[in-house]
Amino acid sequence: MSCWRTLQLSHQPNDTHIPQLLVKPVFDVDSYTVYVTDLSDIWAEELHLEAIIDRASSEQSPIEVSKHDTAQLAILLENIQKALLGSHDAVCRITRGSRDGLTLHTSVGLPNPLGSLAWTHQLEKRTSVTLKNELVLPLLVSTHVQHERIADLISIIAGKDKAINRLLDQCDSSNLDLAAAFPSIGGLKAGRRTIKREQAAKHVPALHPFCEQPWRELTGRFKDSNVTTLMTLCREALVHSALEVPQKLMSEGCSETWWTALPDTMALLKPITSSIKSATAVPPHKLIMQTSEDETEDEFETHGNFTVRTDPLCRYHD
């Protein structure tokens, strides 16, 4: 199940200001949808097999796929997704698209000698209905589920307290020594006197009955020691927001726009080979899915499903 996460953007040309963005990549076996939001607006791109093949051709992808040969499609999609998930060897930059859209330029390293895989996402601005269905409702559903989990947990703990109390009552009536069950409190014994539950509970907190209200008061306070920004708070909440929203809750569709200040083309970039570690991104054996055991290294370098490229983002210029 896909979830929202922070979009790790690389240095923008001319130090263009971009607010912190979130991305949710939803990948299937032969299609994908990518959502990007700044929490006020949302953009998306949805591509199916034919469009992915066309995009791979226009991007001169080193992992080649065609209508007649989709053997490497899974590997292509895997690497496209890696660039969106903040891989250590990924580069992500953003420019202005058409009609309030965004263009997300990504690149991720491939094993030598393939260089890097560059990919462009043409994100179209969507309505607030999409923002509601893809971000707000999952958060609300996740919150509801967490409340249900807490209620269930309290019920389970209450049941365990009853069972533990019955056992302790039986121990008391039988004059059994609790030190036999909890050796750590054996040092409390004075002479041959047995240890009762009140004494044991001081040293074994789990023997105390669970009190719901004090627990709610203690855990209901906002602990902000590790939360320094609104986005940090959102990221923590979004980790648990990968739940499917019931269809009946979905809406049907029918400030200032920071994206209008973005350049509509990528500024002249320095070569990114130093930022991309091409040797460890994907093991070569994962990139060749239908080769014989006798294939040599030279044959790998000229494999029919791959072409060698360098500096994939350097073609963008003023």
pLDDT per residue as tens digits for the range 171-216: 778 877 777 666 766 565 555 466 666 666 677 777 778 888 888 8
The answer to whether residues 105 and 314 touch, using CB atoms and an 8 Å cutoff, is no
> For residue 256, what are its two tokens?
């200032």
- pLDDT value at residue 308: 45
Between strands 102-109 and 90-96, the pairing is antiparallel
Cα–Cα distance, 212 to 71 (Å, whole number): 56
- Lowest-pLDDT range of 25-34, 70-79, 188-197, 213-222: 188-197
Mean pLDDT of 75-98: 90
Cα–Cα distance, 33 to 126 (Å, whole number): 13
**Position 2 confidence tier, pLDDT thresholds 50, 70, 90:** confident
**Position 275 confidence tier, pLDDT thresholds 50, 70, 90:** very low
- pLDDT value at residue 105: 94
Cα–Cα distance, 98 to 51 (Å, whole number): 18
Instruction: Reply yes or no on whether the pLDDT at 249 is more than 50.
Output: yes
**25 against 254, higher pLDDT:** 25
- pLDDT value at residue 106: 94
> For residue 116, what are its two tokens?
């890097």
Name the residue among 78, 63, 115 with its Cα closest to residue 275: 115
Instruction: Reply yes or no on whether the pLDDT at 298 is more than 50.
Output: no
> 70 Cβ partners below 8 Å, 6+ apart?
30, 49, 53
pTM across the whole model: 0.69
Between strands 90-96 and 22-27, the pairing is unpaired
**140 against 204, higher pLDDT:** 140
Cis before 271 (ω within 30) = no
Instruction: Reply yes or no on whether the pLDDT at 113 is more than 60.
Output: yes
DSSP 135: I
Mean pLDDT of 142-156: 86
Query: Which range is most confident: 42-46, 60-64, 92-96, 231-235?
Result: 42-46
Cα–Cα distance, 237 to 14 (Å, whole number): 33
The answer to whether residues 101 and 124 touch, using CB atoms and an 8 Å cutoff, is yes
The structural domains of the chain, ordered by start, are 5-127+254-315 (2.170.210.10), 145-244 (no CATH)
The answer to whether residues 134 and 241 touch, using CB atoms and an 8 Å cutoff, is no
Name the residue among 274, 279, 268 with its Cα closest to residue 316: 268
Give the residues across from 121 on adjacent strands: 104
Instruction: Reply yes or no on whether the pLDDT at 139 is more than 90.
Output: no
> For residue 25, what are its two tokens?
């990549």
Q: Which residue has the tokens 């039986």?
A: 170
